[in-house]
Amino acid sequence: MELPAQIIVATRNRHKAIEFEHIFGSEVRILTALDVDPDLTWNETGTTFEENARIKIQAVSSKASKSFPGSWILADDSGICVEALGGAPGVHSSSYGGQEGNDRQNTRRLLQDMERIDNRSACFRCCLILKIPHLGESVFYGQCDGSLIREGAGVLGFGYDPIFIPTGHSQTFAELPIAIKNSISHRARAFAALKAWLIQSK
């Protein structure tokens, strides 16, 4: 199965949309929830990444069916899971610091919570759901293992990237070149699973 010319990503986060643009490449135009409806919102009340991804895809698909009929829709939910915190922040990663989408507050709180903890193991996890008209939904997962440093480093990326060093590397996601991050990240690995599924579905 071939990728379409454009895909709607169920996000209002421009940083995430740019990351998808890098992952998919120039042959696919990435639209977002803002293109479907600038006022479109949803409440991420799920207890798992998959539940939250499904909330997003349902919200966007109900609107897109009118303005972008026949479009493929992709939703992702992702976050950082810290071993010493029992998997937290997890699904609450984007609001962990008390304000939705405030990367600085989120990172600051996580570093504070981990201040006296030696076990720095963590991972980023991602759940992708792809909805294709007349074919339904397919779910894909990706994970990137690594560890947390005690002070942020780097200016690239977003979210918790400045404090996360992926396994096998000595720099944070915010220090690594974008091309490297987008080849090993949790989102890239979920996309690789999606791409493999598309190839098998030909």
Annotated active-site positions, please? 77
Region of 101 please: left (phi>0), alpha (psi -120 to 50) or beta.
left
Please enumerate in sequence order all residues whose Cβ is within 8 A of that of 65, keeping only pairs 6 or more positions apart, or say none: none
Can you tell me the distance from the alpha carbon of 74 to that of 23, in angstroms, rounded to the nearest whole number? 13
Please state, in angstroms and as integers, the Cα–Cα distance from residue 200 to each residue in 131, 192, 193, 194, following that order: 17, 12, 11, 10
Angle between helix 14-24 and 186-200 (nearest 10)? 50
Residue among 161, 155, 150 at smallest CA distance from 187: 161
Residue among 126, 115, 104, 117 at smallest CA distance from 174: 104
Please state, in angstroms and as integers, the Cα–Cα distance from residue 126 to each residue in 5, 134, 156, 183, following that order: 24, 25, 19, 14
